[in-house]
Structure 1
């Protein structure tokens, strides 16, 4: 490559990075305050998982297997919010590949036994708990009995109930409060609704299948094989503890909607993105099957720009007009973005960018790559 061309590519890449930094989210860096300005205003919106302040706008760009640019604080362990969902769905995918879940079309109820909630010894009158159930049955209502793994993975389950003190209707509630508890349920698979209560139901169901804390499963099956650091942590809630096989285990969350979720640095996010780019293969090991990757990237019928949680698709170029229709991303609030583009052999991690600035960043990034 001529020196002049290399200079031009470097200048174009710098323009993309400068655009991402200038496009920093307008939300406060104090994420506790941010929570109570947003999700915390919902019914039962108080945080029950850990929240920390965020860092500077940060990113990493990997092209053809090499880091070609980075900025901000890539070693900083920050909340990654709903990028956590892609890690959760991957753990479910490995359970499917190992035959622990026979099919994603199976009813989840078949795999979830009665759940014993952890209840610390009462320091008040024990009769106060007389009407409190000892066991949790998350899939026993007539509607919930029909929900499949695929429904939960695609956010089309319309699961009904309360988990960890959060009613399903309290997450992004309908504008009409009269319908919060009275509306008819949608047949599973027919209506898409992004909902973190139902994501946490999936995490609890997966815990029952693995019978091990999901962070341990993720570490063994994905994070260690891809060479991730030892600094990431996957948190649950202060009240999401169950007794399973005689051991106390915390059911983790699929995001930071009420705190918790995955805390991770940008390098580890990039490694997971690169695993996605290589269709689940890391060096000579197939960590996630190509069949699972294909399923995760298959559009959800009621919402074609969503695959499995949290694989956001660019179907018909609607999400990011400047990117190929085949591109996808693992995305979470913040915005935290792991952009994956097989046509350009490209992974870009971008943290704390305003959602409205993402397509402008991608436009500049792809202009730089196309001149490479």
Structure 2
């Protein structure tokens, strides 16, 4: 059995330098501070976090854990990948075709003008939609020129400074407002709160879901079929988002590693899971709301088959088909993530 003690020690020695209680030093907690005012504030609930924790599975069996792996903590943009899973469930139910224009199926929710009506579900999933508008008070411009740690392209301008939009499908940009618009579209597609759908279709069949929460912004409510429902964000950039345990994250990653199959039941279409790992034509480091390592650009010590869910605050969910392994680490200082991956890779051999 591989010895992961060095990897665990590395993670525990390099906790992200955010306070554990967001109320104790709010100016040092989260990522909303870098947004231009008045958008540099929380708009949904947050809560105190635990310390560094994680889980490693090999061959479907847990072989290591550390910290508090059963504690439900905010997971930031790992939640984006959960939206991709929900889209796959919708596809399996005949609710969407990834190449269909969203406006065709869902008129009246923000995809109807000349620019946005070209946007397909695939564009939204690969972050090439260039959607333009305001989603629950947040304009897409807030995220113009945004760069995140694993985005290899050089800076294009000042974050929040308007740039000329390109035709949907021709420009890649990491943009939380557009992801929130995707979540709103999925809510209208299912016509049920997305946390309920995710709990029933994914977490419960996997034997997870204890203390799972997926909260929206305080003002992100819509009425569908006479019912008031909250739309949830694909992260915790402005608060809200998914709170989940490391063990549940590992369960979800195992489902993806196994091609959507669990206990003899296909929870997600195998073809959908495979498509999530295909590189975007204009951003080959990215799949469908997942990060890819085909060139070794993310982590040079990880296998080239590896793919990742990543969230701010040091959340990494690593699926490694080459070693039949799942690795979850939480609240790891991103500046030391490569060292953690190196130690895990060394142990895996």
Provide TM-score, normalisation by structure 1. 0.86
Partner secondary structure for residue 179 of structure 2: helix
C-alpha separation between the residues in 2 aligned to 1:225 and 1:19? Answer: 33
Partner secondary structure for residue 49 of structure 1: coil
C-alpha separation between the residues in 2 aligned to 1:34 and 1:100? Answer: 42
1:275 correspondence with 2:266: no
1:66 correspondence with 2:61: yes
Equivalent positions of 1:171-250 (< 5 A) are: 171=143, 175-176=157-158, 179-180=161-162, 183-250=163-230
What residue number does 1:144 align with?
A: 116
What residue number does 2:328 align with?
A: 349
Shift of 1:313: 0.5
1:291 correspondence with 2:282: no
C-alpha separation between the residues in 1 aligned to 2:259 and 2:30? Answer: 38
Please, which of 136, 139, 158 is the counterpart of residue 167 of structure 1? 139
C-alpha separation between the residues in 2 aligned to 1:22 and 1:190? Answer: 42
Q: 1:66 to 1:34 in 2, by over 3 A?
A: farther
Structure number with greater Rg is: 1
Structure 2: gaps (5+ residues): 147-156
Report the number of matched residues: 335
Q: 1:264 to 1:172 in 2, by over 3 A?
A: farther
Shift of 1:34: 5.1
Shift of 1:326: 0.5
Structure 1: gaps (5+ residues): 1-5, 115-136
Deviations 1:218-250 (Å, cap 9, x if unpaired)? 111111111113310111111110010000000
What residue number does 1:153 align with?
A: 125
Shift of 1:172: 5.5
Shift of 1:23: 2.0
C-alpha separation between the residues in 2 aligned to 1:219 and 1:178? Answer: 35
1:307 correspondence with 2:298: no
Shift of 1:37: 6.8
Provide TM-score, normalisation by structure 2. 0.92
Q: 1:199 to 1:59 in 2, by over 3 A?
A: same
C-alpha separation between the residues in 2 aligned to 1:63 and 1:108? Answer: 39
The alignment's C-alpha RMSD in Å is 1.7
Deviations 1:88-127 (Å, cap 9, x if unpaired)? 11111111122111x211111112243xxxxxxxxxxxxx
- Asked if 1 retains the 8 angstrom alpha-carbon contact of 2:18 and 2:29, the reply is no
Q: 1:16 to 1:37 in 2, by over 3 A?
A: closer
What residue number does 1:20 align with?
A: 11
Partner secondary structure for residue 252 of structure 1: coil
Shift of 1:184: 2.6
Shift of 1:35: 6.4
Please, which of 91, 97, 122 is the counterpart of residue 96 of structure 1? 91
- Asked if 2 retains the 8 angstrom alpha-carbon contact of 1:61 and 1:69, the reply is yes
- Asked if 1 retains the 8 angstrom alpha-carbon contact of 2:134 and 2:140, the reply is yes
Shift of 1:53: 2.0
- Asked if 2 retains the 8 angstrom alpha-carbon contact of 1:25 and 1:353, the reply is yes
Q: 1:246 to 1:358 in 2, by over 3 A?
A: same
C-alpha separation between the residues in 2 aligned to 1:216 and 1:313? Answer: 29
- Asked if 2 retains the 8 angstrom alpha-carbon contact of 1:42 and 1:172, the reply is no
